[in-house]
Structure 1
Amino acid sequence: MSETPDPSWLVLILAGLLFMDAAMSVRPPKFIRDCLNGVHFPREWWWILIVIKLLATAGLIVGIWVPGVAFAANVGVIAYFLCASVAHIRARFLRQEFWVNCLGFLAVSVLVLVFAFFV
């Protein structure tokens, strides 16, 4: 296992995707609103998801140079999307948002972890 990502561009792609997701969540389009409403996530807490994604983005970027930080951030992103997946399953909200957004991000996060830190 590597303490810093190699290749680092994989981590930058994940950071970019998370940043775009956070930016879109400031004024969420219909598919994000549908997703959050579908899992019954309280509207007054939507802002915390933006903070989490921005902190993960920062951790992934800083971790390119600081050993262990990108790894921890990547694991945190995986945990976040595992929790989101559980929320979708518990709410029985298994529409396209679940399969594309939630599981898509989870798959990308796992692939980045494997190929940037273990291969």
Structure 2
Amino acid sequence: MTGTPDPWWPTALLAVALFSDAILSVRPPVFIQQCLDGVRFPREWWWTLIVIKLLAAAGLVAGLRYAGVAVTANAAVIAYFVCAGYAHYRARFLKQEFWLNCLGMLALSIAVLFLSHASAI
């Protein structure tokens, strides 16, 4: 069975990043709007991304205490950003938002998985 993250701080950092992104997305700044419009994600569904990011952050935080939860949440976050990357690719929206936001968060998520859960994978 997988344990809790060791070290714990990369998982906490990812949780803070996702929580901040969710809060920022409540009133999305221009760069987030351009990103979502660029992949043609319908505006009436933008709220779902906030919910997903808040749940992911909560899962990561819960995983600091409960065995197996953080590695599962971390894997789900990676899947989320892989899907986001694919959406960018399909829409041919490969501008700065793709490289910095999407691939940056994917890289962070993968790094956290390997740093905090190396024994579990």
Do they fold alike, i.e. is TM over 0.5? Answer: yes
Moved over 4 A (4+): none
Task: Give, as a single letter, the amino acid of the residue that structure 1 aligns with 2:87.
Answer: A
Matched length: 119
Q: Does 1:106 align with 2:109?
A: no
For residue 38 of structure 1, what is the amino acid of its counterpart? G
Distance 1:42 1:80 in 2: 17
User: What are the residue-to-residue correspondences of 1:78-117 with 2, within 5 Å?
Assistant: 78-117=78-117
| Structure 1 Cα separation of the partners of residues 15 and 42 of structure 2 | 26
2:72 equivalent in structure 1: 72
Structure 1: 5+ residue stretches without partners: none
Aligned partner of 1:3 in structure 2 is 3
- Give TM-score scaled by structure 2 length: 0.96
Instruction: Percent identity, please.
Output: 62
Please tell me the residue identity of whatever aligns with 2:16.
G
Query: What residue in structure 1 maps to residue 43 of structure 2?
Result: 43
**Structure 2 SS opposite 1:28:** coil
Normalised TM-score (structure 1) = 0.97
Q: Structure 1 CA distance, aligned partners of 2:7 and 2:63?
A: 12
Runs (5+) with no aligned partner, structure 2: none
2:25 maps to amino acid = S
Partners of 1:2 and 1:118 within 8 A in 2? no
Per-residue CA deviation, residues 91-116 of structure 1 (Å, 9 max, x unaligned), is 00000000000000000000000010
List per-residue Cα deviations over 1:58-110 (Å, max 9, x = no partner): 00000011011000100000000000000000000000000000000000000
What displacement does 1:2 show?
Answer: 4.5
2:3 & 2:34 partners in 1: Cα distance? 38
| Cα contact 1:11–1:116 (8 A) shared by 2 | yes
